[in-house]
Structure 1
Amino acid sequence: MGRARREMSDGTILLLGATSDIGGEVATRLCAGRDVVAALRNVAVQGAVEKRLIDAGARSVRVVEFEATDLASHRALVESVEYLTTAIVAFGILGDQARAEQNEGEAVRIAEVDYLAQVSMLTVLADAMERGEIFAFSSIAGWRARRANYVYGSTKAGLDAFCQGLADRLHGSALHLITARPGFVIGSMTAGMKPAVMSVTPDQVADSVVEAAGRATARGRSVTVWIPRPLAVLAMVMRLVPRPIWRHMPR
């Protein structure tokens, strides 16, 4: 698939989770001629983040320190961004499933970053933004939780349900929610893991969601996109697999 771009004439981009493989790819496709606020936890890598966005054509880049689990900071961060028209909510963790099964602290850590913090930030963005688009990232892992990664999968299931409701809330407004449902993403988060069927790369996800954002703008409504598209068929089949077989499915 070719490198998709959608030109936008104005407005600031807020990239939440600026070291995210997918978030970075989406931002580089949208940032030409625009100001970007890149929020990240590890400010030691801000130079690389700034260079990548400037090289992609960003007019300016402001890097801010951001801890997703500091929920009280979410609204202040969003309100500090002038002319915010694009928000990319790309922070998240995979976590350690084996540890989470025995350590409630790890289970809660995964849930806090991948669900609670997402709900908080998406709520703030939907309240504060008047127009534009918000990108949120669900996953096939949330379609039907597997024994092999049910903690992470459960957060994506909850996030997906939240996004569908939020999209309905935004219906008829000038603000659209782009909800991505990718398959297994081959990237830094999954390094060393065996790719699953219909795996995708961060650039493929970015191409698909930017294209979807274009459709959302043209149609005046939020959209949800499976990546790759045939994954939607696999998802329907997944619902039909008997539970005794499903519990032995790999990640």
Structure 2
Amino acid sequence: MKDAFGLPQSLLVLGGTSEIALATARRLIARRTRTVWLAGRPSPALEQAAGSLRALGADARTVAFDALDPGSHETVLGKVFAEGDVDVVLFAFGVCGDQAEDERDPLRAVRVAQTNYTGAVSAGLVAARALQAQGHGSLVVLSSVAGERARRADFIYGSSKAGLDAFAQGLGDALHGTGAHVMVVRPGEVRTGAAAGRSGSPLSTTPEAVATAIELGLRRRSETVWVPGVLRPVMSALRHARRSLFRRLPL
């Protein structure tokens, strides 16, 4: 349950090695979150991520999760919710793919779609049912501005994020009034790893900036969060641009 200040006490991350997810977990731990579940494919990286959160004072646990195995999602998430209420569920799993390679190999393209979209549909419905049953909690879904309008450069990835975004919005409408809440987060290009400290494009961002926006969105109970915020009008203009013009843009 949230504490007297309305801050989440527990967090479940699907995609437990995501840099955005871990930045969010660190930020929430600094503000009273005490139990963190990191769900992902078993690996040294997942265990290391949990260890880093334990060092910050959290009770961090790992659980095996595979987006491509929807038959296991009810069991995996059920195990976590059986331990107690979960205040925030963060969907941070997904793959970017390689547009050129994926166009040449349809099976690769399907894997991107299955991971980013159908895997999230399965896990999202399970998580939503659990949040609704407990009567409170937020489902935070990492979408992308790439889903706003398909670009030639990454339309396979972009289409999978478009599907995820539409699903999450509809799920939020379905949960309205139940006590559970869905927040869609649409970051621009995220500078991770060694590139995180570089200035980059003015429309790019960092895991820490996304984490800050997520925390603020949770406090406000927002339904949609753009990171950086200037992307909202920019993407609105691009979404409505004539197709003949859009094709000529260096995107």
| Same fold? TM cut 0.5 | yes
Q: Runs of 4+ in structure 1 displaced over 6 angstroms? A: none
What is the CA-CA distance between 1:8 and the residue it aligns to? Answer: 2.9
Change (3 A) 1:195 1:71: farther
Aligned residues: 237
| Alpha-carbon distance in 1 for matches of 2:60, 2:12 | 10
Residue 53 (1) aligns with residue 53 (2):
yes
| Alpha-carbon distance in 1 for matches of 2:22, 2:188 | 18
Name the aligned partner's letter for residue 223 of structure 1. Answer: E
- Residue 62 of structure 1: aligned partner: 61
- Residue 36 of structure 1: aligned partner: 36
1:195-210 matches, within 5 Å, as 196-210=201-215
Residue 105 (1) aligns with residue 107 (2):
yes
Contact 2:20/2:207, CA 8 A, preserved across alignment: yes
| Alpha-carbon distance in 2 for matches of 1:195, 1:166 | 34
- Residue 171 of structure 2: aligned partner: 166
Contact 1:180/1:209, CA 8 A, preserved across alignment: yes
1:219-230 matches, within 5 Å, as 223-230=223-230
- Residue 161 of structure 2: aligned partner: 156
1:61-140 matches, within 5 Å, as 61-81=60-80, 82-83=83-84, 84-129=86-131, 130=134, 131-140=136-145
Change (3 A) 1:151 1:201: same
Change (3 A) 1:78 1:163: same
What is the CA-CA distance between 1:78 and the residue it aligns to? Answer: 0.9
Change (3 A) 1:119 1:21: same
- Residue 177 of structure 1: aligned partner: 182
Aligned-residue RMSD, C-alpha:
2.2
5+ unaligned residues in a row in structure 2: which ranges?
none
Q: Which moved more, 1:103-112 or 1:233-242?
A: 233-242
Contact 1:198/1:228, CA 8 A, preserved across alignment: yes
| Alpha-carbon distance in 1 for matches of 2:96, 2:46 | 22
> What secondary structure, in the 3-state scheme, does the structure 2 residue paired with 1:36 have?
strand
TM-score (norm 1): 0.87
Name the aligned partner's letter for residue 57 of structure 1. Answer: G
What is the CA-CA distance between 1:50 and the residue it aligns to? Answer: 1.9
| Alpha-carbon distance in 2 for matches of 1:9, 1:157 | 28
What is the CA-CA distance between 1:242 and the residue it aligns to? Answer: 2.6
Match of 1:145 among 137, 141, 150: 150
Name the aligned partner's letter for residue 75 of structure 1. Answer: E
Change (3 A) 1:249 1:226: same
- Listed one character per residue, the Cα deviations across residues 188-217 of structure 1 (whole Å, up to 9, x for unaligned) are 5999xx95551010110110011000111x
What is the CA-CA distance between 1:156 and the residue it aligns to? Answer: 0.9
5+ unaligned residues in a row in structure 1: which ranges?
1-5, 217-221
TM-score (norm 2): 0.87
Name the aligned partner's letter for residue 129 of structure 2. Answer: D
Contact 1:182/1:228, CA 8 A, preserved across alignment: yes
Percent identical residues? 39
- Residue 3 of structure 1: aligned partner: none
| Alpha-carbon distance in 2 for matches of 1:9, 1:101 | 42
What is the CA-CA distance between 1:248 and the residue it aligns to? Answer: 4.3
| Alpha-carbon distance in 2 for matches of 1:188, 1:95 | 18
What is the CA-CA distance between 1:30 and the residue it aligns to? Answer: 1.9
> What secondary structure, in the 3-state scheme, does the structure 2 residue paired with 1:178 have?
strand
| Alpha-carbon distance in 2 for matches of 1:38, 1:186 | 22
| Alpha-carbon distance in 2 for matches of 1:42, 1:145 | 33
